[in-house]
Each structure stands twice: as structure tokens, then as C-alpha cells.
């Protein structure tokens, strides 16, 4: 394994210039102040994979240090015959350097136990100097449409770390399920974390899966997930979606819905897909309820950013509801877009007063963007461009490029194919910063994330299939400073994917093989939406 096979590609690398260093049972691990998280990770993960103690000591080995002349996420890794030195600008940089070391050792370093006793592992003599292009390198996982049990989430955090991704956007509520325990509102999980059946395929499919589906994370599960992420220098950004995508919450607490136009007490947890008309009522009671939800979330999630959704909120019920219309007049917000904006502004000030920052999908621009809001630009670049030009921060995640639920090949064998065809190469050529932004405006692009909506991913193997290998290309886009899309060397990336597939195999990832799905990865007869260019909402 050589440095030329790293993914994401480092900013600068020299070598191999010597035989390098041999890791064996005598290899010491020395950790300077501030590098303890990487010390623990190396001993547990690399040591566990290779069967090496990586004990503290003075002998030849791996040294970790902070070098504050480097940026916090930057690192320098030097491997010579006398040892390996990893210096990072701060703890995260040291950790990303350790991820590079793991790749340099080879695919065996991605296993959980050694293949042989008393192994010796060569690290090529090299110097790697590296730092990320973007500070926000994320993946959003929808655990509402299909629940992912906690061990699967922890596994995804490891997969993000292995790709130097540092934000996990956790989509915890939707029409089809509520996934986080809120102590003051127990019915959210008692009644709304389960649904009796689930549409099997695209919403136009005739098929149902009649096995009840559901699950939720207890507050202790969430604490464990957040701590596990923190140890890996990943921020967990929770999302509770308001005022749309709220039928599960309305099922548990019918007074949250527009009771004057719909019999909210009869609404179940939704069992199909698409944009749902049952949205929150614009009342003081609704605001107090969600302040209660967010109060508990702030205790659980230390991240600066808190996502409030804001997407796909149909305004039909508010148009029909005398109570909502009276509210529009009373608040002086003009129309239904103004009501949506009123919801978001309320939580923008509420979060700001608590030292946090609101982020929402680009529909939060409609009716006027709240003062401190950051925008997840998903319906293309447009929302992100408008927000950045108005001085707001932006995370670029356009559905046309980085929605990993969309099919990755145009062939008939893709399982439940939906949305656009977006291949590994398409993702590799994704550019997060659009040319319409000036250099100054482009500084508002905090970074980028890939989004994983799980309507047609019924379990973790299906999630793996959609996410990999494309997340590897996405990680290189987010971390590495690449040429303009048309000039990117995809052939070189593909060459580096050969060892990367070996790493994914060692990790047990059910990726899509380059030749197409394996028999058990197909879903013959389950309807997708096989019209390229169709709107992707499923
Ligand atoms: C979204 O895809 N509805 C944000």
C-alpha cells in the first residue's frame, strides 16, 4: 500500500522515499498533550485490527503531537525507518492524520481482529501534508423513513471518520416516524415511533410490506452516539422537521395539527411516501410544544447547529383553516409563506438566545430568511446562492448531485431506482461552490453534505448499497482541493478505488460493485420511478 492510494487525496505527499517503518508488537505509541482521543482510537482500532498492543513507551513507534502552526484540521504525517510522527493543528487534525496512517498500513487495518499472530506491517517512507478544503463535510441520514438501530449508526460514524467526514446530520423526525425519546412527551415514541405497514417501493407501487416497522433512540442511546461521534471529531447535528413533515408528531398529539380542517385524531403514522398535507398548526401551543422538544435536544446535542427542517410544507391546510387565517392577520405576516417564516424566525431567535445556530432546508428562504439562519441548499444551488449573496452561511447539498438515494446507474437492475442517475463519476465531478458567487460570497459556503433519504432503503445493507462507493467520491470533493469538474482526473480516482474497495470489504460494507448489483442487492418487481429527470420526491 502506498501513499498514492489515499482517499481522499491529500494536499501534498512525497515518497515513498525509504523502506519506511515496520509496525510490530514492539511498536510504541506516544501521545502528546491534546492528542488523547487519537491515542485511544489508534490503540483500539488500529491495534485491534493488527493485534498490536501499541503500548506507551520510549521505543521506536508512533508519536502524536499538536503543532499549533497548523490549522486545527490540518496534519503532517512523516514515516521514516525510525518512526511515524503525526502532528495536527489541534486534536481533529491529529485524528485525520491517524486515518491516513490506517490507509497506509493497508486493508487489514480496516478489520476488527488480526488475520495472523505476530504480524509485521510496513508503512511506506513518506511525508504527507494535508488539510481539508471545507470545514463542513457531512452526511445526512434519514432514520425516520426507515429506522437504523443504534449499532448501525455507530458503524456509520466509523465509516464517516474513515473518509475524513466530520458532520453527521441526523434526521430524527418525519411523517413516517419519530425517533428520539422526549421525556416530557412520551407519546412521541410510545405511539409514533412505529407504523403498522410500509409502502414497498415508490409511492405509486401497489405493494405493501405488512411487517410493522419502527424503533427509536433513548436519550442514553443519543448520549452514546454523540460521545462516539465526539471521540471521532464528528459533530452530530440533530434535525426535527417543522412545520411540515410532522404527521408522526400530530398522530401522538393531535392538537398540534390543523384541527379545524382535518380530523387530526384519526391520523396515523404515515405508511407511504411523498409530500404530506398534514402540517403543524400555527399556534402558541405548537411553539411551546417544540420549545420543549428542543430544550431536551439541546441537553443531548452539544453541536452549534440545530436543524429545524422547514422543507416541503404544503400551505393548503393553512389556506383552508379559519384559525390559521386569523393568525396571519393577528401576526401581520401577510400570507401562508409568512406563517412558515414566522415559525422559523421564532426558533432562530430561540436558538440564538441559547448560543446555538439554526439551520434549515432552502424553503426557509420563502417569506424572508430569519436573521441568523444557515441554509441547506437542496433544490439545486439557487437557494444557497441567494442565501450566500444575502450574507447567510450555506451548506451545499443539491439533490441533482449529492442525493445518494438516487440511483447510481441507468440500467434495469438498480434496486427500486428513483430520481436522477448519478454515477460515481458524477459525484466525483460535483462542485460545491457555484461560479455565481464572488470570492467573498463563497466564504459563506461552509461546506457540503451528501443526503441519504431512506424511503426505499429498508435496512442497513440497502443504505450501504446507495451510499458506497459514492461517499468515497463525495469525501474527496469535500476534503481535497480538486481542479474544476471537467478537469478532474476520474481515471486516477478509479485507480485509487481498487484498494479502497479492499478497505470497504475489510469493513464489511455492502457497496454497489462496479459491475452492478449482486443478486441479493436487486429488487425485481418493486416499482421505482424510472424516469430520468423526474422530480425525486418519493
Ligand atoms: C428534502 O429533500 N426534502 C430536504
CATH number where 230 lies:
3.20.20.80
From the CA of 403, how far away is ligand 1's center (Å)?
9
Shared-domain flag, residues 261 and 393? yes
Does residue 460 fall inside a structural domain? yes
Same domain, residue pair 109 and 172: no
Phi, psi of 446 (to 5 degrees): -65, -25
Strand ranges for 153-304 from DSSP E: 167-171, 173-174, 177-178, 194-195, 198-199, 208-209, 213-214, 235-242
Q: Classify residue 529: in a domain, yes or no.
A: no
538 within domain boundaries: no
Asked whether residue 26 is assigned to any structural domain, the reply reads yes
Cα of 441 from ligand 1 centre, angstroms: 24
Distance CA(77)–CA(480), nearest Å, equals 16
Mutate to test the pocket of ligand 1, among 311, 402, 403 (most ligand atoms within 8 A of CB): 311
Q: What is the CA radius of gyration of the chain?
A: 24
Structural domain contains residue 527: no
First to last CA, the chain: 42
Domain boundary among 130, 157, 186: 130
85 and 213 co-located in one domain: no
CATH number of domain containing 11: 3.30.379.10
Which residue in the block uniquely carries the three cell numbers 432552502?
362
**Residues lining ligand 1, CB < 6 A?**
311-312, 361, 378
Atom of ligand 1 nearest to the CA of 245: 3
Cis, bond preceding 8 (omega within 30 deg of 0): yes
Do 161 and 230 have their domain in common?
yes
Q: Which residues contact 278 (CB under 8 A, 6 or more apart)?
A: 175, 246, 247, 250, 257, 258, 262, 264, 267, 317
Q: Which of 130, 164, 192 corresponds to the end of one domain?
A: 130
C-alpha cell belonging to residue 537: 420526491
Domain membership of residue 359 as a residue range: 136-521
Structural domain includes residue 526: no
- Residues 52, 148, single domain; the answer is no
Question: Could you tell me the three cell numbers for 424?
Answer: 460515481
CA atoms within 13 Å, Cβ hemisphere of 227: 7
Looking at the structure, tell me whether residues 312 and 419 fall in a common domain: yes
Residues 41 and 88 in one domain: yes
**Catalytic center residues:** 174, 245, 312
Shortest CA distance to 248 belongs to which of 297, 317, 193, 197?
A: 193
Nearest to 62 by CA among 98, 89, 34: 98
Closest CA to 215 of 479, 524, 454: 454
In-domain check, residue 516: yes
Do residues 124 and 145 share a domain?
Answer: no
Per-residue pLDDT of the chain (538 residues; tens, 9 = 90+): 455 799 999 999 998 888 899 999 999 999 999 999 999 999 999 999 999 999 999 999 999 999 999 999 999 999 999 999 999 999 999 999 999 999 999 999 999 999 999 899 999 999 999 999 999 999 999 999 999 999 999 999 999 999 999 999 999 999 999 999 999 999 999 999 999 999 999 999 999 999 999 999 999 999 999 999 999 999 999 999 999 999 999 999 999 999 999 999 999 999 999 999 999 999 999 999 999 999 999 999 999 999 999 999 999 999 999 999 999 999 999 999 999 999 999 999 999 999 999 999 999 999 889 899 999 999 999 999 999 999 999 999 999 999 999 999 999 999 999 999 999 999 999 999 999 999 999 999 999 999 999 999 999 999 999 999 999 999 999 999 999 999 999 999 999 999 999 999 999 999 999 999 999 999 999 999 865 555 544 4
| Domain count of the fold of the chain | 2
DSSP string, 140-188: EEETTTS---HHHHHHHHHHHHHTT--EEEEE-EETTEE-B--TT-THH
CA of 143 to the centre of ligand 1 (A): 14
Same domain, 224 and 305: yes
Residue 537, in any domain of the structure = no
User: In sequence order, which residues have a C-beta less than 8 Å from that of residue 57 and are 6 or more positions away?
Assistant: 28, 30
Residue nearest ligand 1's atom 1 by CA: 311
| Ligand 1 atom with least separation from CA of 312 | 3
In a shared domain, residues 60 and 184: no
Instruction: State in Å: Cα 34 to ligand 1 middle.
Output: 38
Domain boundary residue, one of 130, 159, 191: 130
Do 143 and 273 share a structural domain? Answer: yes
Q: Are residues 178 and 102 in the same domain?
A: no
Amino acid at each position: 500500500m502506498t501513499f498514492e492510494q489515499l482517499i481522499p487525496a491529500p494536499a501534498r505527499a512525497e515518497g515513498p522515499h525509504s523502506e519506511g517503518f515496520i509496525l510490530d508488537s514492539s511498536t510504541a505509541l506516544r501521545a502528546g498533550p491534546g492528542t488523547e482521543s487519537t491515542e485511544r482510537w489508534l490503540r483500539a482500532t488500529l491495534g485491534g485490527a493488527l493485534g498490536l498492543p501499541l503500548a506507551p513507551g520510549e521505543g521506536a513507534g508512533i508519536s502524536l503531537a499538536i503543532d499549533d502552526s497548523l490549522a486545527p484540521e490540518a496534519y503532517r504525517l512523516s514515516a521514516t525507518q525510525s518512526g511515524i510522527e503525526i502532528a495536527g493543528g489541534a486534536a481533529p487534525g491529529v485524528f485525520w492524520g491517524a486515518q491516513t496512517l490506517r490507509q497506509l498500513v493497508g486493508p487489514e487495518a480496516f478489520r476488527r481482529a488480526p488475520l495472523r499472530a505476530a504480524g509485521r506491517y510496513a508503512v511506506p517512507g513518506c511525508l504527507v501534508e494535508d488539510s481539508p478544503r471545507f470545514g463542513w463535510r457531512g452526511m445526512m441520514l434519514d432514520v425516520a423513513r426507515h429506522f437504523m438501530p443504534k449499532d448501525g449508526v455507530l458503524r456509520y460514524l466509523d465509516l464517516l471518520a474513515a473518509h475524513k467526514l466530520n458532520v453527521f446530520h441526523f434526521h430524527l423526525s418525519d411523517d413516517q416516524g419519530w425517533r428520539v425519546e422526549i421525556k416530557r412527551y412520551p407519546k412521541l415514541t410510545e405511539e409514533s415511533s412505529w407504523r403498522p405497514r410500509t409502502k414497498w417501493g415508490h409511492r405509486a407501487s401497489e405493494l405493501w410490506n405488512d411487517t410493522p416497522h419502527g424503533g427509536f433512540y433513548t436519550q442514553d442511546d443519543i448520549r452514546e452516539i454523540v460521545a462516539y461521534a465526539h471521540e471521532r471529531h464528528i459533530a452530530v447535528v440533530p434535525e426535527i422537521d417543522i412545520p411540515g413533515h410532522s404527521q408522526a408528531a400530530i398522530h401522538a398529539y393531535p392538537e398540534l395539527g390543523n384541527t379545524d380542517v382535518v380530523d387530526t385524531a384519526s391520523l396515523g403514522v404515515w405508511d407511504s411516501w411523498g409530500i404530506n398535507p398534514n402540517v403543524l398548526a400555527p399556534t402558541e401551543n405548537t411553539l411551546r410544544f417544540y420549545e420543549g422538544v428542543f430544550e431536551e435536544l439541546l441537553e443531548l446535542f452539544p453541536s452549534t447547529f440545530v436543524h429545524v427542517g422547514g422543507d416541503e410544507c404544503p400551505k393548503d391546510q393553512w389556506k383552508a383553516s379559519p384559525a390559521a387565517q386569523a393568525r396571519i392577520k393577528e401576526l401581520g405576516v401577510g400570507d401562508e409563506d409568512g406563517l412558515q417564516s414566522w415559525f422559523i424566525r421564532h426558533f432562530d431567535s430561540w436558538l440564538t438566545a441559547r448560543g446555538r445556530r439554526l439551520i434549515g432546508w432552502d424553503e426557509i428562504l420563502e417569506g424572508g430568511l430569519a436573521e441568523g439562519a444557515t441554509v441547506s441548499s437542496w433544490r439545486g444551488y439557487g437557494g444557497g446562492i441567494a442565501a450566500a449573496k444575502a450574507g447567510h452561511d450555506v451548506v451545499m447539498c443539491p439533490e441533482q448531485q449529492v442525493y445518494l438515494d438516487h440511483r447510481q446507474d441507468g440500467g434495469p437492475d438498480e434496486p427500486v431506482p428513483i430520481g436522477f442517475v448519478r454515477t460515481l463519476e458524477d459525484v466525483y465531478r460535483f462542485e460545491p461552490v457555484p461560479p455565481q458567487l464572488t470570492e467573498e460570497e463563497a466564504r459563506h459556503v461552509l461546506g457540503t453534505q451528501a443526503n441519504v433519504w431512506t424511503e426505499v432503503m429498508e435496512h442497513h445493507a440497502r443504505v450501504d448499497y446507495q451510499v458506497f462507493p459514492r461517499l468515497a467520491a463525495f469525501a474527496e470533493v469535500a476534503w481535497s482541493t480538486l481542479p474544476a469538474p471537467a478537469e478532474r482526473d476520474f481515471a486516477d480516482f478509479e485507480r485509487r478505488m481498487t484498494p479502497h474497495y479492499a478497505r470497504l470489504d475489510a469493513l464489511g460494507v455492502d457497496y454497489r460493485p462496479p459491475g452492478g448489483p449482486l443478486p441479493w442487492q436487486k429488487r425485481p418487481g418493486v416499482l421505482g420511478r424510472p424516469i430520468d429527470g423526474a422530480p425525486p420526491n418519493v
